Amino acid sequence: MEKTDLRRQLGLFDAVMLIAGDMIGVGIFVITGFVAASIQSPGGILSVWLLGGLLALAGALSCAELSASLPYAGGDYIYLREAYGRLTGFLSGWSSFFVTFSGSVASLAVGFAAYAAFFFPIISADRFLFSTELFGWPLRLSVASGFSILVVIALSGLHCVGVRQGASVLNVLTVLKIGALLGIILLAVLFGNGDAGHFSPFLDFSRVSDWTAFGAAFIPIIFAYAGWNVVIYLAGEVKQPERNLPRALLWANLLVIGLYLAVNAVYIYALPVDKMQGTLRISEAATTALFGQQTSAWITAIITVSILGALNVTTMAGPRIYYAMARDGLFFRGLTRVHPRFETPSNAIMLQALWSCILILTGTFDQLFTYVSVMIALFSALAVGSVMVLRVKRPELHRPYRTWGYPFLPLFYILANVGIALDSALKRPWESLGGVLIVGLGIPAYFFWSRSKSAEKQPGE
């Protein structure tokens, strides 16, 4: 009989590194300059970063209860299925495959190639190997996109070989980038040519002409904290999930919040707020000011490693959703296969790799993200809301951990995400409608799979 169960191989340290590795991407290196343009106050900048972290932490503590109670592969697909029904869960998984995870893999791979080109100029987006059209759709392969595709295939192959091997690479990359951030903080304190006077006046809201500036600054910070829950997708492979999942969600989020606040304090120590405004490469500008020499190669290397780490995690997490959907008979049946030797959902991993490579070739991933951003926020709110729904719907469910601050923390997260979704829908109504249509295409697909003879619910999930 073909093996269809995943083995629990990931410990607490692996789980913490998964979350931290996904959260620490490009955002911390580039966003603060944009925030400073909206909020011209040191205390205001740090407050918005803290608020974004608290929002992520609220979601993490809510998902801690869900993951400990339902420690299966698939994460929020499982929670939405149990709380709202199979259709809602399927639509979330549908958007995860076609846009959220596969699109993230494509976007991160392209970003990795762009930063790697700093050290290897041959990897250029301006050098095309071929360009053609397929049914009126442009297909272009540059050296950079070809390199991106090779990276996606290589990482996907690594994760097919074993979750332990993928986790080991992830742990090394995450330790490197956490070490790099700690190094920046320590060197700034010991040897940096900064000025503590940049923190004064700490809170000067008279310089904020429009209070909607806080909302504008808050949106990119939320994306900087994205990945706060990534371990839930691999919950079926975490050892002692009732104990390790809640701890990993708490400790990893606290770690990243602390790092982000400390790094932003270094930025302010290095540069006055008026010189930070609109500076895209804020990390490079700050370290150059602190140490009196050009630091572009150093910062670019850190960013390149950060992107590769996040790409590694995303490649690892997404296929567990498709695997869980297939086990419910709601996706291609072959995706339930677990490799008999490597004990990984190899078919699901390679299918995601294939679709991600198509997105790289067509260059459509950014546009797809724009379309479904509203739906992503709503699905995220629904997933966290599952903790409240299941308290009523399934009171008998074993809950090794119960959400601290319930029901206020889940409500805080839900209201914030609904507010973000409404704001995005009002500002970009046509794009939001496009996202609704993309997700809506999953409805006939759901009925196709649910009515097929292969659709049968798996026991224990």
Q: For residue range 337-357, what is the model confidence (pLDDT) as tens digits?
A: 998 888 899 999 999 999 999
Confidence of residue 458 (pLDDT cuts 50, 70, 90): very low
Q: Is the pLDDT of residue 319 over 80?
A: yes
Q: Considering Cα of 355, then 356, then 361, then 367, what sign does the dihedral take?
A: positive
372 neighbors 15 (Cβ within 8 angstroms): no
Which top CATH class is 12-451?
Answer: mainly alpha
| Ramachandran angles phi, psi of 360, nearest 5° | -65, -45
Tokens of 97: 């495959």
DSSP-assigned letter for residue 277: T
Q: What is the overall mean pLDDT for the chain?
A: 89
pLDDT value of residue 366? 80
Higher pLDDT, 246 or 455: 246
CB atoms within 10 A of CB 158: 19
In angstroms, the CA 42 to CA 289 distance is: 17
Residue 244 CB: number of other CB atoms within 10 A?
24
For 78-106, how does the pLDDT look when each residue is reduced to its tens digit (9 = 90+)? Answer: 999 999 999 999 999 999 999 999 999 99
How do the domains of the chain map onto residue ranges? 12-451
Identify residue 176 by its one-letter amino acid code.
Answer: L
Of the candidate ranges 125-129, 226-230, 412-416, the one whose mean pLDDT is the lowest: 125-129
pLDDT tens per residue, range 292-316 = 888 888 889 999 999 999 999 999 9
pLDDT at 356: 94
Per-residue pLDDT tens over the stretch 231-241: 999 999 999 99
For residue 455, pLDDT beyond 50: no
CA-CA-CA-CA torsion sign (230, 236, 240, 241): positive
The DSSP symbol for 139 reads E
More confident residue, 91 or 218: 91
Question: Is the model's pLDDT at 460 over the cut of 50?
Answer: no
CB atoms within 10 A of CB 458: 14
For residue 95, how many other CB atoms are within 10 A of its CB? 23
Contact call for residues 163 and 150 (beta carbons, < 8 A): no
Residue pLDDT, tens place only, 356-383: 999 998 877 888 878 888 889 999 999 9
Could you report the per-residue pLDDT of 391-428, keeping only the tens digit for each?
999 999 999 999 999 999 999 999 999 988 888 888 88
Closest CA to 186 of 112, 291, 87, 77: 291
Percent of the chain with pLDDT over 70: 92
What DSSP designation does 44 have?
H
Q: What is the mean pLDDT of residues 418-440?
A: 88
- What is the H or E stretch that residue 15 is in? helix 12-23
Give yes or no for residue 67 having a pLDDT over 70: yes
CA dihedral 148, 151, 153, 157 (to 10 degrees): -170
Residue 133, strand partner residues = 138
Q: Which helix (H) or strand (E) holds 16?
A: helix 12-23
Is this prediction's pTM over 0.85?
yes
Inter-helix orientation angle 408-427/42-69, to 10°: 120
Residue 129 belongs to what H/E stretch?
strand 128-134
> Are residues 263 and 290 in contact, defined by beta-carbon separation less than 8 angstroms?
no
Closest CA to 15 of 63, 77, 79: 63
